[in-house]
Amino acid sequence: MTKPVREIAAGAWPFRSVLIANRGEIALRILRTVQALGLEAAVVYHAADAESPAVRAADRAIEITGRTPVAAYLDGAQIIAAARQSGAGAIHPGYGFLSENAGFARSVAAAGLAFVGPTPEAIDLMGDKVRARAFVAKHGFPVAPSAIEDDDPATFVARAEKVGFPLLIKPSAGGGGKGMRIVREASVLAEEVIGARREGERYFGDGRLYVERYVENPRHIEVQVLGDAHGNVVHLFERECSVQRRFQKIIEETPSPALTSDERARICEVAAGIARAAGYRNAGTVEFIYGKGEFYFLEMNTRLQVEHPVTEMVTGIDLVREQLRVAAGEPLGFAQSDIRVDGHAIEFRIYAESPARGFVPTTGPILKLRLPEGVRVDSGITEGAAVTAAFDPMLAKIIVHGADRNAARAKARDALGQFVLLGCETNTDFLRRLVDHQAFADGEIHTGFLDAHPEIAAEPLITEGLRNKLLAAAALSIRPVRDAADAVPPLYAAMGAWRN
């Protein structure tokens, strides 16, 4: 596995403290690397997260406020003020919230702080899906047939029809599947455009749209890239992220079971080429749709990805450490030829949700929490806390590594079985059924996989006999029944210690 050839001495960092502008599992994951490098880790937190593991582990914690908890973590001015208060010289945004906000990145730099991420210019270019697609196409990289509203809004619907059905409508500033709509016939296209524009305006404050040819049941493959301020760019191979619900990922793995060695080399070099053309620095991910040996550029995420741990597991490279080194002005510590892949890794996102009820989010107290041993678990929750509707429902990630995919699957089955969270429904049983499904075992996955196999999300049928046993066990475990069983009747209690 690859390791950087040169570490920064403890006293040679241009910043001694890093403020982590995030929460939950990613805040704690970043914090651990910051402290391992001998730097001070500061975090911001809303009152809802006051007792979180990240706050407890931080060297300094600064409370931030907002109309809602999410609003607090989106308040860039308040976060920069917290960085100054804590004495931090750098801000790591994690993922989500302000991580892809070019204005925030500019404000961080204007405050004399290092932004642990790409330049604002790169965020502006690649964060706007329309501009990014035009840029990628201009440089000769593959993009799917499409129509862009900005080119001529009056003819957008007509031009969209000419792309051919089925179509996928996307907001230009979108992400996380919000505002995306599949259109299969011309009769509903105009109506769906209006709906997608409305959603884009609501979620992103930007109603601009584009459409692209929808590839039926494609695979979603992304490539991790890393660049520095000295013109060096490398890729750290691909991740397969095809198992999704509502356009959001559930399982990610590397290597992809779909790619041949030649296809892998080609898609990874295209991703690195896009990053080089953009003058990209720090960590980023270039995403593609893939099918029948062909792939098209989808988008670029200008931040650390939720699924970055699987890349770390097979390469041995701590991506947060590399992000911090690049932010400190250091060149990459390795060349492309130095990067090796060892084995197979799979990540499972643990969500507070009910797969059987359409993956609706769930809430409740964390009465009991037991994490699996022998595997990597990135978690930001703790026993005694509560799962609320204030944030995204992802609670933790289980990451397994094996010599090959089958070994990783076997380890995953055991790890998911060991995960216990009482008080709030999670998707762990669903994930175990998914791992055991023959199509998943065979690597026959695509973005419509769960729609094609609804039986995975459905709760297993319970026989009447098992149901009665479960009800009896529950009834016998409640406090009044236990107290009655343990109580000594008055007649016998009056006998005291007398024995016959």
Model pLDDT for residues 103-115, shown as the tens digit of each residue: 999 999 999 999 9
* In the predicted structure, residue 492 carries a pLDDT above the cut 80: no
pLDDT at 4 over 60: no
- Between CA 30 and CA 195 the distance in angstroms is 38
pLDDT at 463: 86
| Span 281-322, pLDDT tens digits | 999 999 999 998 899 999 999 999 999 999 999 999 999 999
User: How would you classify the pairing of strands 209-213 and 167-171?
Assistant: antiparallel
**139: which 2 tokens?**
């440089």
**pTM of the complete model:** 0.87
Cβ-count burial of 332 within 10 angstroms (0-12 exposed, 13-18 middle, 19+ buried)?
A: buried
- The per-residue pLDDT of the chain, averaged, comes to 93
Q: In sequence order, what are the residues at sequence separation of 6 or more whose Cβ sits closer than 8 angstroms to the Cβ of residue 226?
A: 233, 234, 235, 236, 282, 283, 284, 319, 322, 326, 332
At 6 the pLDDT is: 65
Predicted local distance difference test score (pLDDT) of residue 202: 83
Give the tens place of pLDDT for each residue, 420-439: 999 999 999 999 999 999 99
Q: Report pLDDT for 478.
A: 81
Asked if residue 498 has pLDDT above 80, the reply is: no
More confident residue, 191 or 500: 191
pLDDT in the model for residue 144 = 86
pLDDT score for 273: 98
Q: How far apart are CA 318 and CA 3, in angstroms?
A: 8
Rounded Cα gap, residues 405 and 402, in angstroms? 7
Is 129 a residue whose pLDDT tops 90? no
Q: What is residue 2's predicted lDDT score, i.e. its pLDDT?
A: 60
Q: According to the model, what pLDDT value does residue 489 have?
A: 75
**Those residues with Cβ within 8 angstroms of residue 498's Cβ, 6 or more apart along the chain or in another chain:** none
Over the stretch 28-46, which tens digit does the pLDDT of each residue have? 999 999 999 999 999 999 9
Cis bond upstream, residue 166 (ω within 30)? yes
Residue 3 has pLDDT above 70, yes or no: no
Per-residue model confidence as pLDDT tens digits over 215-246: 888 999 999 999 999 999 999 999 999 999 98
Q: What pLDDT is attached to residue 306?
A: 97
List CB contacts of 256: < 8 A, sequence separation 6 or more. Answer: 219, 221, 238, 239, 240, 264
pLDDT in tens, 460-475: 888 888 888 888 888 8
Q: Where are the domains of the chain?
A: 17-124, 145-213, 219-456
pLDDT interval class at 500 (50, 70, 90): low
Residue of higher predicted confidence among 477 and 16? 16
Give the number of residues written for the chain. Answer: 500
Residue 175 is predicted with a pLDDT of 66
**Residues 186-214, buried b or exposed e (16+ Cβ, 10 A)?**
eeebeebbeebbebbeeebeebbbbbbbb
Per the structure block, which two tokens stand in for 230? Answer: 């000295």
Q: Which residues pair with 154 in a beta bridge?
A: none
219-456, superfamily in CATH? ATP-grasp fold, B domain (3.30.470.20)
Share of the chain above pLDDT 70, in %: 97
What class has domain 145-213? alpha beta
176 falls in which pLDDT band (50, 70, 90)? low
pLDDT of the residue at 111: 98
Report pLDDT for 7.
Answer: 77
Chain-centre distance of CA 150, in angstroms?
A: 30
What integer is the mean pLDDT of 331-345?
97
Residue 435 CA to residue 411 CA, distance in Å, equals 10
Residue 5 pLDDT > 60: no
Element holding 24 (H helix, E strand): helix 24-36
Say what the pLDDT of residue 10 is: 67
| Burial tier of 373 (Cβ tally within 10 Å: 0-12, 13-18, 19+) | exposed
Mean pLDDT, rounded, for 127-147: 91
Check residue 475 and give its pLDDT.
84
Q: What is the fold, at CATH topology level, of the domain defined by 17-124?
A: Rossmann fold (3.40.50)
Asked if the model's pLDDT at residue 214 lies above 60, the reply is yes
